[in-house]
Amino acid sequence: MSDMKTKILEAQIYSIESHETFKYDCLIIIGGELNGRVFELSQSKMSLGRSEENDIVIDIKGVSRTHLAIIIDGQKIQLIDLGSANGTYINEKKIDTRVTLRSGDLIKIGHVTLKFLTKDSIDMKAHQMLIEQATKDGLTGCFNKNYMFKALEREIANAKKGKESLSLIVLDIDHFKVLNDSKGHDAGDFVLKEMARIIRNDYLNRRDIFARYGGEEFIVLMLNANAETAFSWANIIRKAIAEHDFSYDKENLRVTVSIGISEFSSDLAITANELFIQADKALYHSKQSGRNKVSCYRDLEQKNNHET
């Protein structure tokens, strides 16, 4: 698979997770399990279908292996059905010739409905706002718990298909209640926002998914990363937070984090919730071991098995 196609396939995963506005006209899935998934139309000609050979892959019932093509001709975005089994419908009318899309057009293929929006349309801006409201934590700008667990379930399924690894990292601010009680909730909110800013701006890869689980607890989902990679990254974060100047109201607040890691590999039969529980157990071990530490669930299991 070419680098360009790889980028397009990756865009299916992280396009709505980007902190930037959309650079291209888009197709957006409306309704169903993949509601809100965005596909940016970044090439002059793109194919769409179930097969991974396509530029846009939608593996859902009723979609043909190569269902349709999208052609960018100057300012026009045109769509043509490629002899699909179930046909392509635009605004409920079946098409049999090349059609020029207009912003807001609804495209139905099999059991999927997509909406075409130009990058500068009012609807696109409204869609971005709805995504923000439904998926983001209002205080820190991170994704919320609900979004993270849906993403985790999706990425576990993808990792099984692709025989890849992924790692889940849970971070918890040490002695946060003491900070809130002694310095006030405004100081606590400042620390939460500043820590989220540091991690998001300086340490995440574009495909990493960063969420606030609740309170002072955060989650990072690292795609295509094993436990060793996650452990090295987590230690970098731990040191960066400990050394950062959290300057609030003319006072430098000392902040540290404890971290737990769990790893998914394609040979494991494990759910998203079970993977989180493993990372949370590793986090608990970091807390019990003196805080400001990183622990990996796999290492703890190996140690326990060796002792027994």
Tokens of 212: 């606030």
Contacts of 93 (CB under 8 A, 6+ apart): none
Of 54, 51, 53, nearest to 39 (Cα)?
Answer: 54
Residue of 216, 228, 274, 307 marked active site: 216
- Inter-residue contact 144 to 211 (CB < 8 Å): yes
Residue 45, amino acid: K
CB atoms within 10 A of CB 256: 15
Query: Kind and range of the H or E element at 202?
Result: helix 185-202
Contacts of 109 (CB under 8 A, 6+ apart): 48, 58, 62, 63, 67, 68, 84, 86, 88, 89
Tokens of 40: 């940016």
Please spell the DSSP secondary structure of 135-201, one letter per residue: HB-TTT-SB-HHHHHHHHHHHHHHHHHHT--EEEEEEEETTHHHHHHHH-HHHHHHHHHHHHHHHHH
Radius of gyration of the chain (CA): 22
How many angstroms separate the CA atoms of 198 and 193, rounded? 9
Does the annotation mark 216 as catalytic? yes
Of 193, 208, 198, 207, nearest to 137 (Cα)?
Answer: 193
Q: Catalytic positions, please?
A: 216
